[in-house]
Chains A and B, each alone.
Chain A
Amino acid sequence: MWAILSILVENKPGILFKVTHLFRARNFNIDSISVGTTENPDYSKMTITTYGDEKQIDQIVKQLDKMIDTVKVEHLDEHKTVFRELSIFKIKLSNANDSMEINKLANAYGGKVHDVKKDSIMVELTATPDQIKAFEELAKPFGILDVARTGVAALQRSGV
């Protein structure tokens, strides 16, 4: 299963290394990762998405929780969480109509268009990984020249 982990850590140098090393050393895999300071500059929040069965995810959470620099580790329920990833696609423009088609596609997915050139266009998309993947599939026939994706950022909804 795909799991979203929210990890509150002390904002100290080297913490990211420790967390990512834990995944490597314990033979887990990171699907995506995003890190940023919280409203309290003493803490950072990492959002890591990973795959594993229930037992493996449980073990990852326990191992992360055991780390002395982690303040709180949560396995977020996908259905009770707002989670988004930012992606930027550079897409090839081959025909005169491509720009319009890509604009329509971007609009359909709530994306923004940037840097329209004669032979390429960039689309910024903030969405769930599934939606980004769907957009990617539809953009592929035009020719994706480059793509950059952040990791998932996630927050559990209130009152759940």
Chain B
Amino acid sequence: MNKMETMTGAKALMTAMEKEGVKQVFGLPGGANLPMYDEFARCDIRHILVRHEQSAAHMADGFGRVSRKPGVCFATSGPGATNILTGIATAQADSAPMIAVTGQVPVNMIGKDAFQESDIIGMANPVVKYAFQPRTASEVPEVVKKGFFIAESGRPGPVLIDIPKDVQINEEQMTFPDEFKIQGYHPWADPDIVNVEKAIDMLLHAEKPIILAGGGTIISSAFAELQAIAETLMLPVVTTFKGKGAFPETHPLSLGPIGMHGHAEANKMMAEADCVLAIGTRFSDRSVGTFEAFEKRLKIIHMDVDPAEIGKNQTTQIAVIGDVRVNLRVMVKLLLQKAIKKTDETPWLKHVKETKSYWKENLKIHPGEMGAAKILRKLRELLPKESIITTEVGQHQMWASLFYDVIQPGTFFSSTGLGTMGWGFPAAIGAKVAKPDVPVVDIAGDGSFSMTENSLATAVLEDIPVIVFLLNNSTLGMVAQWQRTFYGRRMIGVDQQSCPDYVKLAESYGAQGIRAQSMDELDKAIKTALSSNVATVIDIPIDPEEDVLPFVAPGTSLSDMILPS
């Protein structure tokens, strides 16, 4: 325990955050958080101003996913706090570490319907990992310490700290604890050697084994372990969409993401497999289709840090609970000890390779010059392998799933759980703050980008040069695709024709706008953006009728793909 110091709650907050290593926060001031904002003038934490609190949360989310340390966002009370809820819920759905700090009306005004009062604790509880509301200034240091611990340990998630204004202002004696106890929180488990051994045995006896790597593989940075196991046991690897990039997608054993918009070869092989090593996944309906069909004829080994995920959506034969990297390391060690090394001459692997090869060569893509596949392959060709990609939500996101190969694991991020349109651009800004030395590209659609395009102001004002790779079909493309496919082409509410000229929009914010209408122009635009030190929007008009295919319709199984005709 450190010595006691007298200071305000607001000062204690900044001091505690500095002790947690916070270098920057994303936020927007208001009446109820001004005492905290005043402290930015007297500390070394950089404040990055946003134009809407939702974007502050997405920026903190992007920062957190890349750095694997909680990103911090600030909002005032009432509407400021409710505005960041979407960002908090997005982080919760994708297990991203985040600290959201909101101002609140003074303690004696809580419950009085005061100006800009909202019960943000009550509203946020369902979508946070935990929420605190210190009622005295002296509580602040321990709340911050606990908040960061909860946010980043175990299965990461967002933590809300709602601080009444008088708690920010009051001066009290503070102690900054080094240790604390949270009685009901046990985020770690010992390596599960017994079940890892059983898992190896099951994989060795399976005729058609496969690995399904989920987002938890990325969160725990289990890339090397995953690759070692795949190569030792010669197992094909599919991922969930959130797990995209957990395994190099240029690797011969990689089949890419499964799911509603998964790769044809990945869905086909997943549907044929008889045993799956599922790592860090919650078996989302978007990934596995109908739960009943997925687990039929399939033995499931489920590794996850969250015991509540075991058996939630799928019946599991072997459960390995704990950090997946720790348990995968145990698996690698046991494989080495037992000198197990398989060759690639099994009939299953031959079939996998043939299937992969067939679909790589025969998947029909849009015939036009500016089809999604060609555009995204061009981006891949020109981006350094360490570049970080974020995506918005929609067709472009799924084209990225299909046609943008992640070479370096852990460089691809998307809102996969909540599916939040408008996430990608602010998340890219957060990612760029976390890793300023690598290119950061938001693969966007016009519908999603419109939701948070005002973050261009942040990118320019704060000198954070990210690239928006805007596949512009002037429509809410995925909704339009569903209306074409399932609703008899009754196109309702999807026309985005009145969207702005995105080149002029970018320029009006002081950013760079480039329109690319041919592959030559796209080549030049990407190179220009990469060499530029200002945020750049590359506006790429595409065919509004282009669909994302293959497609597994909702309520069907992975074997029921709709393929390009």
- Which residues of A are at the interface with B, using a C-beta cutoff of 8 A? 9-10, 14, 17-18, 21, 25, 55, 58-59, 62-63, 65-72
In the complex the two chains form, what is the Cα distance from A18 to B125 in whole Å?
7
Task: Give the docked Cα–Cα distance between A4 and B310 (Å).
Answer: 21
Interface string of B306-340 (1 = CB under 8 A from A): 11101110010000000000000000000000000
Tell me if B115 counts as interface (CB < 8 A to partner A): no
Q: Are A59 and B184 in contact (CB under 8 A)?
A: no
- Which A residues are CB-close (under 8 A) to B121? 14
A65 to B312, CA, bound (A): 14
Residues in A with CB closer than 8 Å to B183 are: 10, 71
CB-based contact B184/A10 at 8 Å: yes
Give the Cβ gap from B97 to chain A, nearest Cβ, in Å.
15
**Bound-state Cα–Cα, A65 to B306, Å:** 11
| A17 contacts across to B, CB distance below 8 A | 122, 125
- Whether A25 touches B311, Cβ cut-off 8 Å, given contacts A68-B185, A71-B184, is no
Contacting pair A58 B129 (CB below 8 A):
no
| Alpha-carbon distance between A25 and B89 when the two chains are bound, in angstroms | 14
Q: What are the 9 closest A-B residue pairs judged by CB atoms, nearest first?
A: A62-B308, A71-B184, A66-B308, A68-B185, A70-B184, A63-B308, A68-B130, A71-B183, A68-B184
- Chain A residues positioned under 8 Å from B312 (CB to CB): 59, 62
SS class of chain A's interface: helix, strand, loop or mixed? helix
Interface check B161, CB cutoff 8 A: no
The count of A-to-B residue pairs whose CB atoms sit within 8 angstroms is 41
- B310: which A residues are within 8 A, CB to CB? 62
Given A10-B183, A58-B311, A70-B184, verify A21-B125 contact (CB < 8 Å): yes
Digitize B176-217: 1 where CB-to-A-CB distance is under 8 Å, 0 elsewhere: 000000111100000000000000000000000000000000
CA A68 – CA B122 in complex, angstroms?
A: 16
- Alpha-carbon distance A17/B183, docked complex (angstroms): 19
Q: Give the CA-CA distance A72 to B185 in the complex, in Å.
A: 10
Q: Looking across the interface, which residue of chain A has its beta carbon closest to that of B146?
A: A68
Q: List 24 A-B contacts (CB under 8 A).
A: A9-B184, A10-B183, A10-B184, A14-B121, A17-B122, A18-B125, A21-B125, A55-B311, A58-B311, A59-B308, A59-B311, A62-B308, A62-B310, A62-B311, A63-B308, A66-B306, A66-B307, A68-B129, A68-B150, A68-B182, A68-B184, A68-B185, A69-B184, A72-B184
B122 partner residues in chain A, CB cutoff 8 A: 14, 17
User: Residues of B contacting A65 with CB < 8 Å?
Assistant: 307-308
Rounded to whole angstroms, the CA-CA distance of A3 and B308 in the bound complex is 18
Residues of chain A with a CB closer than 8 A to B184's CB: 9-10, 67-72
Chain B interface residues (CB < 8 Å from chain A): 121-122, 125-126, 129-130, 150, 182-185, 306-308, 310-312, 315
A66 to chain B, nearest CB (A): 5
Return the chain A residue nearest B154 by Cβ: A66
Q: Which residues of B contact A25 (CB under 8 A)?
A: 126
For the complex, what is the distance from the CA of A72 to the CA of B186, rounded to whole Å? 11
Bound CA span A58–B307, Å: 11
Shortest CB-to-CB span from B162 to chain A, Å, is 12
Chain B residues within an 8 Å CB radius of A59:
308, 311-312
**B125: contacting residue among A14, A58, A70, CB under 8 A:** A14
Docked CA distance A70–B185 (Å): 8
A64 to chain B, nearest CB (A): 9
Indicate whether A62 sits within 8 Å of B307 (C-beta atoms), given known contacts A10-B184, A67-B184, A68-B130: yes
Cα–Cα, bound, A70→B25 (Å)? 31
Kindly list chain A residues whose C-beta atoms are within 8 Å of the C-beta of B125. Answer: 14, 17-18, 21
Residue of A nearest to B306 (CB): A66
Q: Name B315's closest neighbour in chain A (CB-CB).
A: A55
Kindly provide the distance from the CB of B516 to the nearest chain A CB, expressed in whole angstroms: 44
Q: Chain B: which residue is nearest A62 at the CB level?
A: B308
Q: How far is the CA of A109 from the CA of B429 in the complex (A)?
A: 69
Chain B minimum-CB-distance residue to A63: B308
Q: Which of A21, A55, A59 has the most CB of B within 10 A?
A: A59
CA gap between A127 and B406 in the complex, in Å: 63
A147-B464 Cα distance, complex, nearest whole Å = 66
Inter-chain contacts of B126 with A (CB < 8 A): 21, 25
**B129 contact set on A, CB distance < 8 A:** 68
Q: Which residues of B contact A67 (CB under 8 A)?
A: 184
Scoring B125, B126, B308, B312 by chain A CB atoms within 10 A of each residue's CB, the highest score goes to: B308
Cα distance A145–B125 in the bound complex, in angstroms: 39
Closest CB-CB distance, A24 to chain B, in whole Å?
Answer: 9
Shortest Cβ distance from A71 into chain B, in angstroms? Answer: 5
Q: How far is the CA of A65 from the CA of B150 in the complex (A)?
A: 15
Chain B residues near A72: list those with CB within 8 A: 184
A136–B154 CA distance with the chains assembled, in angstroms: 49
Give the distance to chain B from A59, nearest Cβ to Cβ, in Å: 6
What's the Cα separation between A17 and B185 when bound, in Å? 19
Give the Cβ gap from A140 to chain B, nearest Cβ, in Å. 40
Min CB distance B138 to A, Å, is: 17
A14 to B110, CA, bound (A): 15
Give the residue among B121, B183, B307, B311 with the most A Cβ atoms within 10 A.
B183
Residues of the A chain whose Cβ atoms lie less than 8 Å from the Cβ of B306: 66
Nearest residue, chain B, Cβ from A24: B126
Chain A residue nearest to B129 in the complex (CB): A68
Say how far A143's CB is from chain B's closest CB, in angstroms.
42
CA distance A63 to B311 in the complex (A): 11
Q: Across the interface, which residues of B come within 8 angstroms of A9, CB to CB?
A: 184
| Complex CA–CA separation, A21 to B124 (angstroms) | 12
Supply 4 further A-B pairs (C-beta < 8 A) apart from A14-B121, A17-B122, A65-B307: A10-B183, A21-B125, A62-B307, A68-B182
CB-defined contacts of A58 to chain B, threshold 8 Å: 311
Residues from chain A with Cβ under 8 Å of B311 in the complex: 55, 58-59, 62
Distance, CA A44 to CA B285, complexed state (A)? 37
A127 to B311, CA, bound (A): 35
Within the complex, the shortest CB–CB distance from B342 to chain A, in Å, comes to 34
Q: For A21, list chain B residues within 8 Å (CB).
A: 125-126
